[in-house]
Structure 1
Amino acid sequence: MARSGVRGEGARPRVRQADDLGWDDSLYDENGDPTDGGGASGGRGGGATSEDSGSTSRDTGRDGRPVDKGGDDASAEPRGQGRHGGGGGRRRGGGNGGHPRRRRRVLRWSASVLAVLILGTAGAGYLYYQHLSANIKKDDLNLGDEKDRAAKSKANAAGQTPLNILLIGSDARDTKENQALGGAKETFGGTPLADVQMLLHLSADRSNMSVISMPRDTLLKMPKCTDPDTKKVYPATVGLVMTNTSLGRGGPGCTVATWEKLTKIHIDHFIKIDFSGVVSMADAIGGVPVCVDANIYSKDSQGHGSGLKLKKGTTPVKGAQALAWLRTRYGFEDNTDIGRTKAQHQYMNSMVRQLRKNATISNPGKLRSLAETATNALTVDKGLGSPLKLYDLGNELKKVEPKRITMTTMPWQWAVSDSNRVEPKPVEAEQLFRLVREDVALDGKDKKKTATAVKASTDPAAADDQIGVTVQNGTRTATLGPVGGRARTVSQLLVGKGFTKAEADSSAATVEETTVIRYPSADLQGDAQAVAKALGVPLSAVKKSTDVSGVTLVVGADWREGTAYKAKAQDNTTPESADVLNGAKADACMHVNKDYTWS
């Protein structure tokens, strides 16, 4: 039987209504706004307080977050149906708990992050909080081998650490609602695809946010992944496969592992959402304004297209129409996935701006029903597996103004093996990944950062004539071929400096923008640094990597000639091919393909 896209779901008990779980409708009028009797200021009205009853309960703190009053930590996973958190856990206490406050200052990013707002502001009592927590599906963060994991992000001088979150849009047809929205009846219950993949990087100082989208048609190699439920092992791929198939290799944790393997960026969390989740989130904010430069109808005589039909100009889209916008390929630009990615960026930026000026979802009555939909739509890693943790994430995200949000697409080129697919563009894709790894703002508005000196290894190096060094030719660029014999020239240079075990690798030349020295384990770090010092290569170019078995020097495109290495000034500009879109650009408009217009 084909594997469902929503993992770990079994039969659920009857969904209890909010008034069963601590929500008191008497505190709100017919529009959902607080009555004079309480709620608006966060106080509790009606019924005995936990102090009166002596029970353990959950109250609401001054910042609107649920806080403990002698009970269990609310972020703990409910007990019941295993690691996915389904089923109700043991409930404690009989008090009403805290009631929601009205919150007017709102910012959340994307359909999945909008749920952060809903969850954080809908805390209608501890029991209801537990109910919402049980709704959230949880999965393992990374299904790859530990050796393939990217190094954790380093803290800045102030001790602050960047945050990297992978947003995944699944095309799973695993429910009647998702099937109706996604179409293709024959795919019901089939292996899901990660058709939307966006890496959200929140800077260490929380001043800016960068987003990298990977087109779903990208070809790459995938790492080994192990399904945590069935223990099935998916071997690392030998050839190139489409990136969206990673979700079917054990779950979203394999998509995370694939990103880490490609980008060397450590991913802290993931959030996955399905078709119905996108629709409910768009409805929640009353529509997202989008723009097209001509009338569009995304449907042709062969049945291609999402069915999106809009007039020229700006239109607020919601519900199924919002989903159609995000899925439209035929009708935008050249009918490729690249145009669809641009449309998704426009939508996300518009949603951020809409949320900042829109207070409709501070209405508790609307939040009550919406919270049920939102929590059922999400799958997250265990580190985000409670409403409180999602709320905390939302508070971090809202610190960034739209003008400091930069949307990009991974630099790409048409794949050599398949002209209908794309692959990461050498040098430029790595440049974008490096900027994110090093927490450099993609909008170029960073304050000057003081370079952190690289510490010398505490493990002493072996004698020069005892250090084995493999030298590879990485001088090929996107426009220039490799310099013949370059690996041999530099290996002989090393031999002349006393590194008599240095040898040139005769295999095909690789692509490396800058010269780098890699080593596999801590006991060889000192040896690698000794090689760098002998050649005048900066210690910052010495990197730990599980891709090598010994000290490996890759002569990069920055050292195509000569025997003296001269490090060039580091370029921290975002590649033009990343197709940057600033979050504050309100006049962005999608170009409509002339074959999909109407009058």
Structure 2
Amino acid sequence: MPGRRGRRPAKKKSGAKKALLWTGGTMAFVLVATAGAGYFYLKHLEGNVRTTDVGDAGASNFRKDEAFNILVVGTDKRTGEGNEGYGDKGSAGHADTTILLHVSKDRTNATALSIPRDLIVDIPECTATKDDGSKVTVAALQGVRFNRSLGEGGRDAGCTMRTVKEATGIAPDHFMMADFNAVKTLTSAVDGVEVCVTKAVNDKESKLVLPKGESTVEGEQALAFLRTRHSFGNQGDLDRIKVQQQFLGSLMRKMSSGDTLTSPRKLLKLAEAATEALTVDSALGDVNTLKDVALELKKVPPKNITFTTIPVRDNPAEKIKATVVVDEATAPQVFDMIKNDISFTEVKAQKKKEAAAVAARLKGTKADASEVRVRVFNGGAASGSAQQQLDWLQNSAGVTKSENAGNADADQAKTTLEYAPDQADQARRLADIMGLSGSAMKPGESVANAQGLPTMTLILGEDFKGAGVPLDAASAKTPDVPKSTADEVQCAS
């Protein structure tokens, strides 16, 4: 990956087998920053970080006042000091472990969505940046494993970011990658990470040896814990992902503990280890931006950081099951919750905020139904819902100044109503008619209809229950998918 001009000569760094550095890299920065480290030391840390240009695959800058998505990528590339003996020596490095981290706009919650490497996806054509800084266009692939989105044919992290957007509809804003040594040095910097296994482990391939119950692992032993695939579950990639998530939660707890926060030695070791191992997109590469990311991540309580995996099922095209495909019955709602910034955990701050929004937005005068002017879009409801709701509004509710605007640009989990400040009385009337909550009402700008008149925008989401059926804030339920939170202590089985 190319570095900045003026830095030390770029060294080829392999990516981490396990994608741990969204906590490692960024939390190390914030821990050092809050410990009072000076600007020049932070500039030194910035010099450790590798950057790569992903073009328009990611955001051009980081914004502290918005939700953001960071794609954390771990590759199976074997280069890097001390990693020659792990096999596949000549591999270009594929997307072996990938986590899409979504951090909510209000910083009350986050979701870490694991993407199986054996998920069948379409990889779009992409322009990748070579080691010498030149560009190369890599052809698209259809119906292949997700892990081929990185490394093969020269594909870089920007190609992986585009593949994630193609497969999930969620656009990553930034990416982070790290090498094998990150696991070793980060865990050693905090004097080890606590893990738990339900039975004794003696894996000859990964060389992991652990007694039943709790243990502390660091360095090579920590890497072995994450590399083993024969000791847990059915020895498949999905069970390995669960172990990775458990380990990541434990690492987060250790890094946030008082023992770490009050130890200058650990803080400095963490910062050096994380930045030496880190590769990020150009927009994240300067010291102030990395510090900003870290400070925003620090705001999210571990109990509201949810780990989950894209819902999948066995590939029906295979007799011998080796790959998986997206479970279309469950995955779309998971994707929509992330796209629409909806938490997988109950967040008290969100509930208080929503209650305040309900009180503020629903309180006040209401226009007559005949004065409500609105365009109705279908944004995830059943086919034909926009026309059915329009018919009901016009014929049963007296909202005669309404029109069918077709399909929205994208599906969303919840129904929303956007209106301009001078349309608030119209919005309250329509909310009253439809049973919309205050959180569904989105102050914004009006749009012009075909006659050039200012009009509100109603988008029927997946929570829409049918023409004339009242909505409420609880109508979009959390999907029934396996998940855990960062504050939970779990044992690998």
Alpha-carbon displacement from aligned partner over 1:197-239 (angstroms, at most 9, x marks no partner): 11112111111122111112111111221013332111222x2
Give the distance between the partners of 1:127 and 1:420, measured in 2 at CA: 50
Equivalent residues, number:
405
Contact kept in structure 1, 2:308 and 2:483, CA below 8 Å: yes
For 1:241, give the aligned amino acid: V
8 A contact 1:442–1:573 mirrored in 2: no
Task: Please state if 1:325 is matched with 2:225.
Answer: yes
Deviation at 1:338, TM superposition (A): 0.9
Q: 1:583 aligns with which of 455, 466, 486?
A: 486
Deviations 1:370-400 (A, max 9, x none): 5443322100112221333222222211212
Say whether the 8 Å CA contact 2:24–2:274 is kept in structure 1. Answer: no
State the distance in 1 between where 2:47 and 2:317 align: 45
1:285 alignment counterpart? 190
Cα shift readout 1:488-511 (whole Å, capped 9, x = no counterpart): x99xx9xxxxxxxxxxxxxxxxxx
Shift of 1:141: 3.8
Q: 2:322 aligns with which of 414, 420, 423?
A: 420
Tell me by how many angstroms 1:178 deviates: 2.9
Among candidates 127, 151, 176, match of residue 271 of structure 1: 176
Q: Which has the higher contact order (CA 8 A, sep 6+)?
A: 2
Query: Pick from 120, 129, 136: which aligns with 2:49?
Result: 136
Following the alignment from structure 1 to structure 2, what is the Cα–Cα distance between the partners of residues 424 and 111? 30
Task: Give the match's secondary structure for 1:420.
Answer: coil
Distance (Å, rounded) in 2 between the aligned partners of 1:79 and 1:373: 22
Query: Secondary structure, in 3 states, of the residue corresponding to 2:99?
Result: strand
Q: Could you tell me how far apart the structure 2 residues matched to 1:574 and 1:315 are? A: 34
Q: Is the 8 A contact 2:22 2:72 kept in 1?
A: no
Residue 231 of structure 1 aligns with which residue? Answer: 135
- Secondary structure of 1:206's counterpart equals coil
Instruction: Quote how far apart the aligned CAs of 1:513 are.
Output: 10
1:540 and 2:459 matched: yes
Give the 3 Å change call, closer, same or farther, for CA 514–168 of structure 1 in structure 2. Answer: closer
Deviation, 1:292, is: 0.9
Q: CA, structure 1 residues 313+382, in 2 after alignment: closer, same or farther (shift >3 Å)?
A: same
For residues 135 and 557 of structure 1, the distance between their equivalents in structure 2, rounded to whole angstroms, comes to: 47
Larger radius of gyration: 1
Superposed, 1:204-353 pairs within 5 Å as 204-228=105-129, 229-237=133-141, 239-248=142-151, 249-299=154-204, 305-353=205-253
Following TM superposition, by how much is the alpha carbon of 1:266 offset from its aligned partner in structure 2, in angstroms?
A: 3.2
Between the aligned partners of 2:255 and 2:265, the Cα distance in structure 1 is: 18
Q: Aligned partners of 1:321 and 1:365: how far apart in 2?
A: 22
> Superposition pairs for residues 383-532 of structure 1, below 5 Å?
383-418=283-318, 419-445=321-347, 446-447=350-351, 449=354
- Matched residue SS, 2:123: coil
The change in CA–CA distance for 1:284 and 1:513 in structure 2 (over 3 A counts) is closer
Q: Does the residue aligned with 1:576 lie in a helix, a strand or coil? A: coil
After superposition, the CA RMSD in angstroms is 4.4
Higher helix proportion, which one? 2
2:71 maps to which residue?
Answer: 166
Task: Give 1:295 deviation, angstroms.
Answer: 0.8
Aligned partner of 2:478 in structure 1 is 574
Distance 1:235 1:176 in 2: 32
- Cα shift readout 1:221-269 (whole Å, capped 9, x = no counterpart): 11221013332111222x2111122122531122112122222223222
Name the SS for the 2:98 alignment partner: strand
CA separation in 1, counterparts of 2:337 and 2:159? 24
Paired position in structure 2 for 1:67: none
3-state secondary structure, aligned to 2:307: strand
* TM value normalised by structure 1: 0.58
Q: Greater share of strand residues, 1 or 2?
A: 2
Unaligned runs of 5+ in 1: 1-6, 10-77, 88-107, 300-304, 454-460, 462-472, 476-485, 494-511, 517-524, 543-555, 592-599
Cα distance change of structure 1 residues 330 and 242 upon mapping to structure 2, 3 Å threshold: same
SS of alignment partner, residue 191 of structure 1: coil
Question: For the structure 1 residues 234 and 320, does the alpha-carbon distance in structure 2 shift closer, same or farther, using more than 3 Å as the test?
Answer: same
Change (3 A) 1:314 1:572: farther
- Residue 458 of structure 2 aligns with an amino acid whose one-letter code is L
Q: Greater shift after overlay, 288-297 or 305-314? A: 305-314
TM-score normalised according to structure 2 size: 0.69
Q: Distance in 2 between matches of 1:297 and 1:310?
A: 7
Instruction: Report the alpha carbon displacement of residue 160 of structure 1 after superposing the two structures with TM.
Output: 4.1
CA distance in 2, matches of 1:372, 1:356: 17
Given the superposition, is the C-alpha separation of residues 397 and 513 from structure 1 closer, same or farther in structure 2, using an over 3 Å criterion? closer
Kindly state the Cα deviation for residue 557 of structure 1 after the two structures are TM-superposed: 12
Query: Are the equivalent residues in 1 in contact too, given 2:121–2:143 (CA < 8 A)?
Result: yes
- Return closer, same or farther for 1:169/1:526 CA change in 2, 3 Å cut-off: farther
Counterpart contact for 1:217–1:421, Cα < 8 Å: yes
Q: Is the 8 A contact 2:340 2:412 kept in 1?
A: no
Please tell me the residue identity of whatever aligns with 2:137.
V
Question: What is the rounded CA distance, in whole Å, between the counterparts of 2:48 and 2:6 in structure 1?
Answer: 12
- Which whole-Å CA distance do the structure 2 matches of 1:269 and 1:257 have between them? 11
Secondary structure of the residue aligned to 1:177 is coil
Could you report, residue by residue, the CA deviation over 1:32-64 in whole angstroms, capped at 9, with x for unpaired residues?
A: xxxxxxxxxxxxxxxxxxxxxxxxxxxxxxxxx
Shift of 1:402: 1.8
Q: Deviations over 1:344-383 (max 9, x none)?
A: 1111111222223243465444555554433221001122
Output the CA distance in 1 between the equivalents of 2:289 and 2:161: 20
**What secondary structure does 1:389 align onto?**
helix
Report the alpha carbon displacement of residue 283 of structure 1 after superposing the two structures with TM: 0.9
Q: CA deviation at 1:139?
A: 1.2
Contact 1:122-1:371 within 8 A present in 2 as well: no
- Aligned partner of residue 135 in structure 2, secondary structure: coil
